[in-house]
Amino acid sequence: METSPESSNSPVEHVSGITVRLAGDSGDGMQLLGTQLTNTSALAGNDVATFPDFPAEIRAPRGTRAGVSGFQVQFAAEEIFTPGDTLDCLVVMNPAALVTNLADLRKGGILVVNEDGFNEKEFKLAKIDKNPLEDEVLESSYRIVKVSMTKLTREAVSELGLSVKIADRCKNFFAMGLVYWLFGRSLEPTLRFIQDKFGKKPDVAQANESALRAGWAFGETTEAFGVSYRVEAAELEPGTYKNVMGNQALAWGLLAAAHRSGKELFYGTYPITPASDILHELTKYKNFGVRTFQAEDEIAAVGATIGAAFGGTMAVTASSGPGIALKAEAMGLGMMVELPMVVINVQRGGPSTGLPTKTEQSDLLQAMFGRNGESPLPILAPQSPGDCFDVVQEAWRLAVECMTPVMVLSDGYIANGSEPWKIPDVASMDPIVVHHPDAPGDADEPFLPYMRDENLARPWAIPGTDGLMHRIGGLEKEDGTGNVSYDPANHQHMTDTRAQKVALVAERIPEQEVFGETEGEVLVVSWGGTYGACHTAVSRCQRAGLTVSHAHVRYLNPLPRNLGDLLKSFKTVLVPELNTGQLRMLLRHQYLVDCIGINKVQGKPFTVTELVEAIRDQACIGKDCTVVDQKLKIRVG
Amino acid sequence: MNLPVLKAADFASDQDVRWCPGCGDYSILAQMKKVLPTLGVPREKIVFISGIGCSSRFPYYMNTYGMHSIHGRAPTFATGLKATRPDLMVWVITGDGDALSIGGNHFIHALRRNVDVNIVLFNNRIYGLTKGQYSPTSGEGQVTKSTPMGSIDHPLNPLSVALAAEATFVARSIDAHVKHLEATLKRAAEHKGTSLVEVYQNCNVFNDGAMSYAQDRTQRPENTIELEHGKPLIFGKDRDKGIRMVGNRLEIVRTADVPADDLLIHDEKTLDPTQHFMLSRMRHPEFPEPIGVFRDVQGIATYDDQINDQVAAARDAKGTGDLQQLFNSGDTWEVA
């Protein structure tokens, strides 16, 4: 049987974009399904943005609300920056998934239900007293398609003689086939994936393929949906693309940084959600000269990183908030001994253990001030999954130029999200110049390990170099010689110098760019993973006639040199953050400019709608916004 | 290539040594300076890494590369350095508080990984730099600034801990026993894999004489036993006492009372650490305390060799990584 979009005979409707969420039990394979749908859509030329959302428990009790795992993807024929606010289509495998996700499905949206997952036992597990599918409001609000997925999957694989348990594991592929039919997606990439992944177990590979094809055929032959949808390719910048996740792009950026600086990479780390995937990715690339070290704890991970940096290696450590807290003392040492390294925080919900699998931006002040003493470090934040690739290279460039640890603040949303990434041309990448001083010509000339260049950076003299033997450490250093010094004036001088060194970075980073007018009514200032939602919200407000501009800050310490003037050129400055106002505090402190926060800490990214409403409310104070509201309703609705 | 012949003085840095007069650390520094010129390793290839404490000032006094790091973490810096720079000789200088209290975790993990570094643990059974609190090796009942009614902690035995972690080289020496200390440091330097040398070091300000039974030249023969590979365990001023094993425990015997082959023969090379562990349990005053090399097993792969071997093996199998090829791998699509 032919199963390709071209071979479908049912009516087709063309749309500009679709937002789908796949939700089921954490053992149901929803993340796999979502990843496949994303890759297939990207390969079809759509712009894509994803939002995986899963519990911290590996297998929370089956069937319960706590165990629901979801994956949301928006694919579109135009450039998009978020995984979408409201769902056009929701696929649920059990009652718990239905009750925890239904609120996000738009009225009139498509609800695909695995009918076999709806029985008394499951209702009890989901803590609901009656079958939600029998609710008349549900029937009238959404287009419900009930499919007996478990039963149909068993039938599809029956010839293979597999156990019921194994057969039932294939039902996510049945769901996938059905979703692929609904959105006119090709089965080919997933068929290739099945061969790659399950090729060594031919019966499992065959079962998954049969289930996938059966799901597609179910869509085609039954008239349950009536119509299927097509999303044309998006107009992206010319080039070769692939779909990347944030942590993967970050790992590849580290490889690129090592390549550009002629260094081998040492990555010292301790497993922690949501940073562990960086380790999993990097450890595959030993043939690139990557050495990964899974330490006994977070402190050992950063200690080994500093040790490797002392030896002249490109050294990196990464963690999430709780781990960064443990690394704080050693990061202070890294700053004091002035060695280059990159420290990555893939932020998650805090405080304490907090919400390990959920996103938040609440470690900015930790990065700024979370060490004893006066210990400033440069801080950068990527704005999207693909941007992780660029930001870590920039972090390494600054680390080498300034001889300092540099912090990168990613977050769980970026780390696990994915987007199309234009593959760069490696041959045309600029080198990152690293200099290690050689043995001195004149042996009587004393080596000064804390002599400084125009960036106030000290020389990176590495062990093994004759004549440059020196000792570093956490005790205050005498300027020049680096010997231990308790001299009051020297401590003042060294403290000022270390601060000045970081402040000087502002001269070597780009000025802050603005989307929209560079002066006027309202400026939205954002940082990190909220870029997509903020950009989309501002652009909607602009189209509705509001004079709103957007500045997304990628360099958080030091801030871009023109940022202060920029803030002062607007009547109102809005700062949306997934925290209680950390960048806002820094902006107000540094520039004495009042800023209004738009803040949320719910473990979830901003929706575009909530930002549009917040911006509108501020922009419309004292104004008649009737026309704007009409336009926004059309756009937002 | 002819290496310049170095002397002990060539390893002295230009910094004034600032330990208290009479501190045992001076002797350890002096013996280290004597040992290094005998190893054939140029100064610039040697790195001393320390934690925090009196002992941890050591790197400042050596004309080599050095890092005075943070409390308890010296083995972690050493691990990262040695893993990426296996060409360097790396020494870790630590104390009983640094290695066994705040740094206990790193201590055992460095040992079990068998990173090729040499750890010298200055054990004075007290916190000196913070002025006299009890340490994890202070005795039960010991009165210190923080234990006016006597310590209620059971002390940790560093060599027992190291042997439990299956360290490949474990030794003990004494600050005042300079020849022995020099020989033991040299053995540690020559061992491939993690070497641990516990040095009984007198803190003459806060815990003076705590180990005088071993440090004092006149008491030492009765209270310590010098281990020698393949030789029976004999001690005493007149070498008239020995150790034998009865069942699964050790006992002291008069050599005159037992046949010579009844005495326990020291075997530092055996892989099984059980007998080495039993030696580590011999404590004063019940037993003479063994000094010298408890364990020196060869042929166990080191962490640094293995991490670099994996890189070489991956390059042999896949070729040196090509970034462009990696970026273009998997599913890609063209936008015209």
pLDDT per position as a tens digit, B221-238 = 999 999 999 999 999 999
pLDDT in tens, B166-224: 999 999 999 999 999 999 999 999 999 999 999 999 999 999 999 999 999 999 999 99
User: Is the backbone peptide bond immediately before A202 cis, with ω within 30 degrees of 0?
Assistant: no
pLDDT at B86 over 90: yes
Q: Does residue B288 form part of some domain?
A: no
Tell me how crowded residue A100 is: count the other CB atoms within 10 A of its CB: 18
Q: Does residue A249 form part of some domain?
A: yes
8 A C-beta contact, residue A382 and residue A433: no
Confidence of residue A226 (pLDDT cuts 50, 70, 90): confident
* Cα distances (angstroms) measured from residue A496 to each of A371, A452, A456, A486: 17, 14, 11, 15
Residue A234 and residue A76: Cα distance in Å, rounded?
Answer: 7
B2 or A265: whose pLDDT is higher?
A265
Residue A579 and residue A139: Cα distance in Å, rounded?
Answer: 38
8 A C-beta contact, residue B43 and residue B11: yes
Question: What confidence score (pLDDT) does residue B1 get?
Answer: 52
Closest C-alpha among B156, B58, B151 to residue B99: B156
Give the best residue of B43, B55, B67, B113 to mutate against chain A (max A CB count within 10 A).
B67
* Cα distances (angstroms) measured from residue B218 to each of A364, B176, B212, B221, B247: 63, 12, 10, 7, 33
**Are A339 and A383 in the same domain?**
yes
**Are A267 and A413 in the same domain?**
yes
Question: What confidence score (pLDDT) does residue B309 get?
Answer: 98
What letter would DSSP give residue B54? S
Confidence of residue A224 (pLDDT cuts 50, 70, 90): confident
**Are A263 and A215 in the same domain?**
no
Q: Does residue A465 form part of some domain?
A: no
What average pLDDT does the segment A169-184 reach? 95
What average pLDDT does the segment A92-114 reach? 96
pTM for the whole structure: 0.94
Q: Which of A205, A231, A257 is the last residue of a domain?
A: A231
Answer whether B79 sits within 8 Å of A189, measured CB to CB: no
Mean pLDDT, chain A, rounded, equals 94
Task: Tell me which residue has tokens 């950063």.
Answer: A302
pLDDT in tens, A325-352: 999 999 999 999 999 999 999 999 999 9
Task: Tell me which residue has tokens 């350095």.
Answer: B81
Answer whether B335 sits within 8 Å of A43, measured CB to CB: no
**Are A46 and A139 in the same domain?**
yes
Report the gap between the CA of A472 and the closest CA in chain B (Å): 5
pLDDT at B2 over 70: no
Q: Does residue A47 form part of some domain?
A: yes
Query: Whole domain around residue B179: which residue ranges?
Result: 8-216+299-309
Question: A282: number of CA atoms within 13 Å, CB side?
Answer: 29
**Which residue of B lies nearest to A47 if distances are taken between CA atoms?**
B335
Helices B104-113 and A298-310 pack at an angle, to 10 degrees, of: 60
* Cα distances (angstroms) measured from residue B53 to each of B57, B129, B142, B151, B215: 7, 6, 20, 21, 22
Confidence of residue A439 (pLDDT cuts 50, 70, 90): confident
**Lowest mean pLDDT across A241-250, A339-348, A627-636, B81-90:** A627-636
**Are A173 and A292 in the same domain?**
no
Q: Does residue B332 form part of some domain?
A: no
Full strand arrangement of the beta sheet holding A405-411 = A291-294, A265-269, A314-319, A341-347, A405-411, A379-380, A555-557
pLDDT at A634 over 70: no
Mean pLDDT, chain B, rounded, equals 96
Chain A residues touching residue B94 (CB < 8 angstroms): none
* Cα distances (angstroms) measured from residue B105 to each of A21, A38, B112: 44, 43, 11
8 A C-beta contact, residue A536 and residue A548: no
Answer whether A311 sits within 8 Å of B13, measured CB to CB: no
Question: What confidence score (pLDDT) does residue A489 get?
Answer: 98
Chain A residues touching residue B93 (CB < 8 angstroms): none
Give me the CATH number covering residue B106. 3.40.50.970
Interface of B with A in 91-110 (CB under 8 A): 105-106, 109
Confidence of residue B307 (pLDDT cuts 50, 70, 90): very high
**Are A533 and A589 in the same domain?**
yes
Residue B201 and residue A302: Cα distance in Å, rounded?
Answer: 31
DSSP string, B62-131: BSSEEEE--TT-HHHHHHHHHHH-TTSEEEEEEEHHIIIIITHHHHHHHHHHT-SEEEEEEE-SSBTTTT
8 A C-beta contact, residue A408 and residue A395: yes
8 A C-beta contact, residue B113 and residue A304: no
Query: Whole domain around residue A400: which residue ranges?
Result: 242-427
8 A C-beta contact, residue A451 and residue A461: no
* Cα distances (angstroms) measured from residue B22 to each of B25, B28, B35, B97, B176: 9, 12, 22, 20, 11
Report the complex ipTM: 0.97
**Are A170 and A292 in the same domain?**
no
Under 8 Å CB-to-CB from A284, ≥6 apart: which residues? Answer: none
Q: Does residue A498 form part of some domain?
A: no
**Which residue of B lies nearest to A298 if distances are taken between CA atoms?**
B76
Q: What is the interface size between A and B, counted as CB pairs within 8 Å?
A: 209
Closest C-alpha among B70, B67, B75, B69 to residue B107: B75
**Are A249 and A226 in the same domain?**
no
Q: Does residue B328 form part of some domain?
A: no
Question: What confidence score (pLDDT) does residue A636 get?
Answer: 38
Residue A483 and residue A470: Cα distance in Å, rounded?
Answer: 9
Of B43, B66, B78, the CB nearest to A471: B66
Q: Does residue A270 form part of some domain?
A: yes
Report the gap between the CA of A633 and the closest CA in chain B (Å): 34
Q: Does residue B60 form part of some domain?
A: yes
**Are A567 and A421 in the same domain?**
no
Write down the H helix ranges in chain B: 25-35, 74-84, 96-97, 104-113, 158-164, 178-190, 212-215, 220-223, 274-280, 303-318, 323-327
User: Is the backbone peptide bond immediately before A558 cis, with ω within 30 degrees of 0?
Assistant: yes
Interface of A with B in 484-513 (CB under 8 A): 484
Closest C-alpha among A97, A557, A77 to residue A363: A557
Residue B298 and residue B314: Cα distance in Å, rounded?
Answer: 26
Burial class of residue B310 (count of CB atoms within 10 Å of its CB; 0-12, 13-18, 19+)? middle
- Give the three-state DSSP class for A107: strand
Q: Which of A179, A198, A231 is the last residue of a domain?
A: A231
Specify the amino acid at residue A344: I
**Which residue of B lies nearest to A285 if distances are taken between CA atoms?**
B321
Q: In chain B, how many domains are there?
A: 1
**Are A125 and A210 in the same domain?**
yes
Q: In chain A, how many domains are there?
A: 3
pLDDT at A635 over 50: no
pLDDT at B258 over 50: yes
8 A C-beta contact, residue A28 and residue A248: no
Report the relative pairing of strands B289-296 and B169-174 from DSSP bridges. antiparallel
Q: Does residue B254 form part of some domain?
A: no
Interface check A283 vs B, CB under 8 A: no
Tell me how crowded residue B251 is: count the other CB atoms within 10 A of its CB: 12
**Are A125 and A189 in the same domain?**
yes
Under 8 Å CB-to-CB from A451, ≥6 apart: which residues? Answer: A458, A459, A480
Answer whether B60 sits within 8 Å of A291, measured CB to CB: no
Interface check A287 vs B, CB under 8 A: yes
Confidence of residue A1 (pLDDT cuts 50, 70, 90): very low
Torsion of CA B272, B278, B279, B280, to 10 degrees: 100
Q: Does residue B318 form part of some domain?
A: no
pLDDT at A442 over 80: no
Q: What is the sign of the dihedral through the CA atoms of B257, B262, B268 and B273?
A: negative
Answer whether B78 sits within 8 Å of A484, measured CB to CB: no
Give me the CATH number covering residue A172. 3.40.920.10
pLDDT in tens, A464-519: 999 999 999 999 999 999 999 999 999 999 999 999 999 999 999 999 999 999 99
Report the gap between the CA of B187 and the closest CA in chain A (Å): 23
Give me the CATH number covering residue A324. 3.40.50.970
8 A C-beta contact, residue B26 and residue B33: no
8 A C-beta contact, residue A275 and residue A320: yes
Give me the CATH number covering residue A583. 3.40.50.920
pLDDT at A443 over 70: no
**Are A307 and A227 in the same domain?**
no
CA-based max dimension of chain A: 92
Confidence of residue A10 (pLDDT cuts 50, 70, 90): confident
